[in-house]
Amino acid sequence: MAKAIRRTLTFIMVLLFPALWLLPGAAKAAAPSGIAGFYSQAEALTQAPPPETELTILHQCKVEEWQVTLIGLKGSPKGNAVPIIAALSRQPLVSLPDQLSLRLRFHAAPRSGKGLEPAEWLYVYDRNKDGKFDYMCFPIGPLAVKPPDFPADFPKDGPDKSLKYSSKEINLLMSSMRFVFYHLADDDFDGALDTWVLPVMDPDRRAWVEKRALVRCAAGGETADTAWYFKENIAVPLGAPERTAKGFRLLGWNGEKEIGKDSFANWNMILSLFNQAYAQYLAAGTAKMQ
Ligand SMILES: [Ca+2]
């Protein structure tokens, strides 16, 4: 009897083993590349950031008329710590906890009372580790994001766009506030951003983020040529924005927006400022090690 059971178990293991071995491989082969493979990780950091008191300035320099500050986590190895945030300011930053807010706050900056200007900042990544940032997350601010169980009977905007909500509806709106970010990626690592993920509002309830859109410009192309909507999973398209001559039209947090190749120009300027500072930082680190 025991022998029969053992034989059956062996048979099952022989059958299962190749399948178990194949499964992770298959999952790996099917994993989306580029922004689609990185988005969840970057989005998770935006929603659970490190405390501002854990941040430290790795490098600060003037690039054109801007002060660019590269920021990492305290306790990282000196000289080769990886920047996770890059900030732009007119004056050098002096106190990160007073000048950066990585989390949602409902009071106006500056909050320190020290008269320090808040910095513009973005999360930055060098995904292929070639010494150039190729992915950035820009904080738009607090927006109400529809939960999966958003009530279908939530009131639509009135003709005058006024919001007349009950206290229960206001509570849902407030508890659905999230710190929402743009994600921008240079997916072909040519030094220019080509892919943008941005929030899309419900046209009937413009206070609410309904979904996200990914818009991409292929290398060498003159227009944005690929786009899709998604909700939880960036790799699962839920329709596409309206096509236009230069790219795509969608309802952004600040109104209708047409996205084409030129929409990336300002972001590329910021990326270039950050990358000039990053090159300086890496060169200084290499010099220190020699
Ligand atoms: Ca890179």
DSSP 185-251: E-TT-SSS--EEEEEEEETTEEEEEEEEEEEE--TT-SS--EEEEESS-TTS----PEE-SSEEEEE
Per-residue pLDDT at 15 exceeds 50: no
Gap from CA of 185 to ligand 1 centroid (Å): 10
User: Is 28's pLDDT higher than 70?
Assistant: no
* pLDDT score for 165: 85
* The pLDDT value given to residue 195: 97
Which residue in this structure is represented by tokens 């990492």? Answer: 72
CA–CA gap between residue 146 and residue 12 (Å, rounded) = 46
Report the alpha-carbon distance of residue 185 to residue 192 in Å, rounded: 8
How far apart are the CA of 208 and the centre of ligand 1, in A?
34
How many Å lie between the centroid of ligand 1 and the Cα of residue 198? 21
Q: Say yes or no to pLDDT of 29 above 80.
A: no
